[in-house]
Every structure is written in structure tokens, then in C-alpha cells.
């Protein structure tokens, strides 16, 4: 099986926590999408998708975020947060570059592919996401870096396979070359 290269991008913003208690505590929110078609349809995820020929992962993350939710991400502020390998029945299926950013402009809009939604980082709907996300996304949203391998079995497409096990390494920024 030929491995696909893909990206995910998690835009973050700070919001007044609304407690009205007089301090300036801010709660972070992350822009998730409800995916409206393709792999992972009906689940929440970050904007993202497969690399096009000749495209770098960073270019792909920026393009997909623009196409799926209409946000213009500033390349300078795009921070590499993870590299995830998804294996299906023992074979590499997708290698996914994960980014986060606080530098973008525009307002998220609904497209044919995605319905965007700002979600508090401590209230991410992990029960409506890929099963592995609860293992790595909380750390990514806290600012950490991660390298992970996730093994799925017994099906094609990937989103109908069973998640069987994983390996994770944290704080691996030195390993990322782009
Ligand atoms: N959060 C998360 N994302 C995943 C997992 N596995 C996985 O492939 N993805 C991501 C990588 C890609 O961003 C996305 C799949 O690519 P895609 O959105 O282009 O797929 P698609 O089939 O809809 O492609 P297309 O028809 O639009 O070309 O899903 C996972 O376990 N967790």
C-alpha cells in the first residue's frame, strides 16, 4: 500500500473566560471542523487533508485551512506540533504532519467540506473524533510536540477499522525538520 502524506492544522485563540470575576483569565479555544465528507465524515477534526503533488506539508496545511474554513494562516506563525503515523493491517497508511497556529486572519465559514466551530480546549468532543485523538491532541493543544504511531486493523477505509494500539513520544521538536 502506498502511504499518503497529510496534514492537520489547529488554529487557537484566547478568549475572556467570561467568569466576570474581575481577573483577566483567558480560556483557549481551538477551531475544529465537523467534517462533511470523505475520510472521517461526521467526526470533529482540525482542518487538513492530503498533500497535493509538489506541495510541502506547511503549504498543504495552509491551503486546506483556507479551502475548508476560509481562514488565511500566516506561514510565519505555523508551528509544527506532531508527526503521526497511521498503520492499517500492519502497513503504513497515512503520515500526518500536525500544526497549530495563533496567526491567521478572517472568520471561519461553512464550506461543502466542513462546518467550523470554536471549542474550549478543555471541552473538546473526543467522543465524536478519531479514537486516537484523545491520546495526543490534549498535549498538542497545551503546546507540546508529539511523535506517534497508531495501529488500526480489520478494515478499509481507515475510519471503519478498529484502533488496536499505539506508541507515543513527547517533546520531540528537535526531530522535526520542517
Ligand atoms: N485527528 C485525526 N485525523 C486523522 C486521523 N487519521 C487520518 O487520516 N486523519 C486525517 C488526516 C487528514 O487530514 C484527513 C484525511 O484526509 P482528507 O480529508 O484529505 O481525506 P478525504 O478522503 O476526505 O480526501 P479528499 O477526498 O478530500 O481528497 O484525516 C486520526 O486518527 N485522527
Where residue 65 sits, what CATH number does that domain have? 3.90.79.10
Q: Which residue is closest in CA terms to ligand 1's atom 17?
A: 49
Ligand 1 and 50: CB distance under 6 A:
yes
According to DSSP, the residues that pair with 141 across neighbouring strands are none
| DSSP state for residue 122 in the 8-state scheme | G
What average pLDDT score do residues 154-169 get?
Answer: 94
Q: What is the reported pLDDT for 15?
A: 84
Q: Looking at the domain assignment, is residue 42 inside a domain?
A: no
Tell me which of 8-12, 14-18, 119-123 is least confident.
14-18
Mutational test site, ligand 1, from 40, 124, 158, max ligand atoms within 8 Å of CB: 40
Q: How many domains does the chain have?
A: 1
Average pLDDT, the chain: 93
Distance CA 147, CA 170 (A): 6
- In this structure, what C-alpha cell is assigned to residue 153? 486493523
Q: What pLDDT, in 10s, does the model give residues 58-90? A: 999 999 999 999 999 999 999 999 999 999 999
User: Is 61 part of a structural domain of the chain?
Assistant: yes
Q: What is the pLDDT of residue 151?
A: 98
Q: How far is the CA of 103 from the centre of ligand 1 (A)?
A: 23
Parent domain of 161? 4-12+47-106+135-175
**Residue nearest atom 26 in ligand 1 by C-alpha distance:** 38
pLDDT band of 107, cuts 50, 70, 90:
very high
The ipTM estimated for the assembled molecules is 0.94
How many angstroms is it from 148 CA to the middle of ligand 1?
16
Asked, for residue 90, whether it belongs to a domain, the answer is: yes
**CB of 138 sitting under 6 A from ligand 1:** no
Name the burial class of residue 42, with classes exposed (0-12), middle (13-18) and buried (19+) by CB atoms within 10 angstroms of its CB: exposed
Residue 18 in domain? no
- The residue whose C-alpha atom lies closest to atom 6 belonging to ligand 1 is 86
Query: Can you spell out the DSSP letters for 92-121?
Result: EEEEEEEEEES-EES-----SSEEEEEEEG
Asked whether residue 77 is domain-assigned, the answer is yes
Give the pLDDT band of residue 23 (cuts 50, 70, 90).
Answer: low
The pLDDT of residue 28 is: 95
| Ligand 1 neighbour 43 (Cβ under 6 A) | no
Q: Which atom of ligand 1 is nearest to the CA of 45?
A: 1
Residue 58 lies in a domain: yes
**Look-up of cell digits 466576570:** 20
Ligand 1, residue 94: give the atom nearest the CA. 8
Q: Minimal CA–CA distance to 149: which of 84, 80, 81, 82?
A: 84
pLDDT of res. 166: 98
pLDDT score, position 141: 97
User: Per-residue pLDDT averaged across 108-117, rounded?
Assistant: 96
Amino acid at each position: 500500500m502506498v502511504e499518503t502524506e497529510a496534514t492537520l492544522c489547529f488554529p487557537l485563540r484566547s478568549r475572556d473566560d467570561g467568569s466576570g470575576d474581575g481577573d483577566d483569565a483567558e480560556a483557549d479555544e481551538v477551531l475544529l471542523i465537523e467534517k462533511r465528507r470523505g475520510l472521517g465524515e461526521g467526526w470533529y477534526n482540525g482542518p487538513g487533508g492530503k498533500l497535493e503533488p509538489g506541495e510541502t506539508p506547511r503549504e498543504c496545511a495552509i491551503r486546506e485551512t483556507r479551502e475548508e474554513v476560509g481562514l488565511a494562516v500566516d506561514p510565519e506563525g505555523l508551528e509544527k506540533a506532531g508527526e503521526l503515523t497511521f498503520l492499517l493491517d500492519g502497513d503504513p497508511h497515512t503520515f500526518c504532519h500536525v500544526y497549530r497556529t495563533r496567526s491567521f486572519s478572517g472568520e471561519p465559514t461553512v464550506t461543502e467540506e466542513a462546518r467550523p466551530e470554536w471549542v474550549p480546549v478543555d471541552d473538546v468532543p473526543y467522543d465524536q473524533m478519531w479514537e486516537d485523538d484523545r491520546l495526543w491532541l490534549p498535549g498538542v493543544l497545551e503546546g507540546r510536540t508529539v511523535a506517534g504511531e497508531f495501529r488500526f486493523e480489520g478494515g478499509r477505509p481507515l475510519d471503519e477499522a478498529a484502533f488496536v494500539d499505539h506508541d507515543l513520544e513527547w517533546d520531540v521538536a528537535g526531530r522535526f525538520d520542517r
